Chain A
Amino acid sequence: MLPLPKSFDKNEIFLITVLFLLILIIRFLPKRFPKVITILILLEAFTIARLADHLLASAHVMGIDFYDIMDTGKYEFFGLFTYLIFAPFGYLFVYLYDWIKPRGVYLCLYIISWSLFSTCFEWIMVLFDIYKYKNWNLAYSSIVYLVVQPLTILFFEFLIREYNKMKE
C-alpha cells in the first residue's frame, strides 16, 4: 500500500536524522503549553503539510503536479516522515513565538525570519532529493510559508483563548 524506498539512501537517512534531532529538542525543552494545546499544534502543522502536498504533489491527473516527494511520484512510506518533520517545526515556531511574544513590526520580522528559515530548510531537503521540483520553485514555497505561519499564530492564539475560557 505504502511503497518502501527503491534504495535506502541519503533522503531517508536525512529524514530520520532530522526527525530524531527534532524529537530530542522538543523532549528536552521546558514544558510551556498544556498537553491539549501541544497535541493540536503538532497535529495542525502535520495536517497542513499533508493537505498542501495532497493538493500540489499528488494531483497529477489535472496537470498541476508541481513536485514529487521521495523516490517515486507515488505516496511512499517515507513520505509520511516529511509530514512528521513539519509537526516539531510548527511546535518550535509557536514555542518561540510564545516565549519572545513579538508585537507590531517585530511580529512581521519574526514571520519573515521563519519563512526564510523554512525556505532554506526546504532547499536543503531539495538537495537531499526529498522534494523533486517539476513546475515549482523555492519562491512559491516562501509565499506558502508566509501565508501559513501567520495562520498558525492565529490558530495558536485562538486555542489559548478558548483554553483559558474553558478553565475559568
Chain B
Amino acid sequence: MIIVFLLALTIVLIITFFRIEKSLNLFQNIFMYFVLSFLITTSFDILILNLEYIKLSSNFYLVLLFFLMQTSFFPLIIILYFNYLSASKSRLQKFNLIILCLASLFLIEYTLLSNKIIIYKKWTSLKSALYWISLLLTIYLLNKAFNKSISDEVDC
C-alpha cells in the first residue's frame, strides 16, 4: 500500500514539476537537481552505512522506494521551493514557502519512518530538521555561486 502511495505521489510530483512554469532558468534547475541528488544520497549513505544512525528496511522494494525518494521526491520538492522562492515578492510569502517545503520533507520522512522503511537508531527528528535546513542553505549558496559563474553567458 505504502509503495503504491509514495510511487503515485512521486509520479504526480514529477508531472507537476515538468508542467508548471519555473522562474529559475533550465540550467539552474539541472544544476540543483544534480547537486541535490549527490548531497542527499551521500548524506544518507554516511548516516546509514558509516555512522549507523539510521537503519534501512531489509525489504528490497522498500529500499528501492527509498532510493526513488532520494533521487526524485526530495530533490524535486527542494527545486520547486527555490523556483517559487525566486518568484515570491513579500517576506510573508517567503516564510510560508519555507514552512511548506520543510513540512513536505518532514511529512515524507515521517511516512518513511512510520512504515519502517527507515528506522532511527541514534537519529532524532530535531537532527532531521537541522539536516534539511542545512541542506537548503547549502543548495542556496551553491546555486548563488553557480549563477555568479554563469551570469556572463546566461540570463539568471
List chain A positions with a Cβ less than 8 A from chain B: 1-3, 34-36, 39-40, 43-44, 46-47, 50-51, 54-55, 58-64, 73-75, 159, 162-163, 166
- 28 residue pairs A–B, Cβ–Cβ below 8 Å: A1-B50, A1-B51, A35-B149, A35-B153, A36-B153, A39-B146, A39-B149, A39-B150, A40-B34, A43-B31, A44-B34, A46-B38, A50-B38, A54-B41, A54-B67, A59-B67, A61-B56, A61-B63, A62-B59, A62-B60, A62-B63, A63-B60, A64-B60, A74-B49, A75-B45, A75-B50, A162-B26, A162-B27
B residues adjacent to A (C-beta < 8 A): 25-27, 30-31, 34-35, 37-38, 41-42, 45-46, 48-51, 56-60, 63-64, 67, 70-71, 146, 149-150, 153-155
In the bound complex, how far is the Cα of B51 from the Cα of A34, in angstroms?
A: 40
Known: A3-B50, A50-B42. 6 other contacts (CB 8 A): A36-B27, A40-B27, A61-B57, A75-B42, A162-B27, A163-B27
Dominant SS at the B interface? helix
Q: Which of B34, B45, B51 contacts A43 (CB 8 A)?
A: B34
Is B31 in contact with A40, judged by CB distance below 8 angstroms?
yes
Contacts of B48 in A (CB 8 A): 58
Across the two chains, which residue of chain A brings its CB closest to B51?
Answer: A1
Cβ–Cβ < 8 Å partners of A62 in chain B: 58-60, 63-64
In the bound complex, what is the Cα–Cα distance between A39 and B34 (angstroms)? 11
Does A35 lie within 8 Å of B25, measured CB to CB?
A: no
Return the contact of B25 from the options A50, A61, A64, A166 (Cβ within 8 A).
Answer: A166
Does B26 lie within 8 Å of A2, measured CB to CB? Answer: no
CB pair A47 B34 closer than 8 Å: yes
Chain A residues within an 8 Å CB radius of B64: 62
Which residue among B34, B60, B70, B154 has the maximum number of chain A CB atoms within 10 Å of its CB? B34
Q: Tell me if A166 and B35 are in contact (CB < 8 A).
A: no
Across the interface, which residues of B come within 8 angstroms of A163, CB to CB? Answer: 27, 154
CA distance A63 to B63 in the complex (A): 11
B150 touches A75 (CB 8 A): no
Partner of B30, one of A2, A40, A63: A40
B18 to chain A, nearest CB (A): 14
Contacts of A35 in B (CB 8 A): 149-150, 153
- How far, in Å, is B2 (CB) from chain A's closest CB? 16
- Check B35–A74 contact: CB distance below 8 A: no
Which chain A residues lie closer than 8 Å to B34 at the CB level?
A: 40, 43-44, 46-47
What are the 9 closest A-B residue pairs judged by CB atoms, nearest first? A36-B150, A47-B34, A43-B34, A54-B41, A75-B45, A62-B63, A62-B60, A34-B153, A61-B56
Q: Within the assembled complex, what's the spacing in Å between the Cα atoms of A51 and B68?
A: 11
